[in-house]
Structure 1
């Protein structure tokens, strides 16, 4: 992962770069900039996970950077570098989802701890986003199977859905429920193998699809 440091004072940006490189022990790439526009161009192209930026800079300020990075919407963690006199101003960064603040002069240990927190948060969100996308892809590819499993759950498990829960299921499964039926089913589980149970659930599922009876109350008993 890439880490970007932006401060218009070369001595500060170089010092922070050395601190971060020492703390990260070569596990991540650290880049330092004194020109905010050059840094922004780099960020747009490389999408670094963590960005430490001074607030008061000529031209593009840290607030301006945070606003533009937030609009990129890829989950970068922004840390403001600020002095005591600027701290109230820095609070405006909340609007642009600024992750944390570091007060100048920067304490080395606190800076490394802050950086590690930001890296962990970025990775956690990326993993969550990836898992969500995997789920969405699976759902799109297997929507009909999921619908069938929903029907099987209603038939073969003692599940009762409230009106609100059923409405949520309708939306998730994209089911147009127009009819209303009461279904009573009795199964002998001791004599019915799993394959036969699945077969009957499939037949019933197809029946409801054909008749468009996607809204029903159901009573199921097992003997």
Structure 2
């Protein structure tokens, strides 16, 4: 049986195919995400073809649920749910920060670190994580914080392609570890979302959604 992991919540997406023992068969770490994710399906198909099989051969998926780009998360989730609908594969969500921190290969004595994602407006989306025997897991729900207010004594991990990299480095200096991809195979070493009933994916929202009442259109009477 083959497994797969996909994350499209960050500035660059990652996809990996694994065996049941979690060893990686094939991977790609340069996926376009967000509004540029039109080629996502083709990239996943190409990776599968290079490994010698079809996406329908994948029996279980884990998908990064952020926090991060809402558009990116939706694109990745929609792709996987579409494939799973036809193949009958199971789908579970996982915190994207577990893949981000896994890619950093932090020293064994580091048992707590923070994954950072672009929060725009001078903010970052912070995922506090703790090291477990099976990998990194969320210690508490993610939250938004001004980059200038980050504690320089903590350990942070941020994706190289993320727009906030320069600001994070200016704020915390060497406390920021920069990685060039998300090690999505880590999703199979962390606790996936515990779900009851049908499979579903639950994005990790940091900011509450804001409802803006649509304006009532004004119609002008044609002049006689």
Task: Give the TM interval when normalised to the shorter protein.
Answer: under 0.3
| TM-score (structure 1 length as normaliser) | 0.27
Higher relative contact order (CA 8 A, sep 6+): 2
TM-score of the superposed pair, with normalisation by structure 2: 0.27
> More helix per residue: 1 or 2?
1
- Higher normalized strand content (fraction of residues): 2
Larger Rg: 1
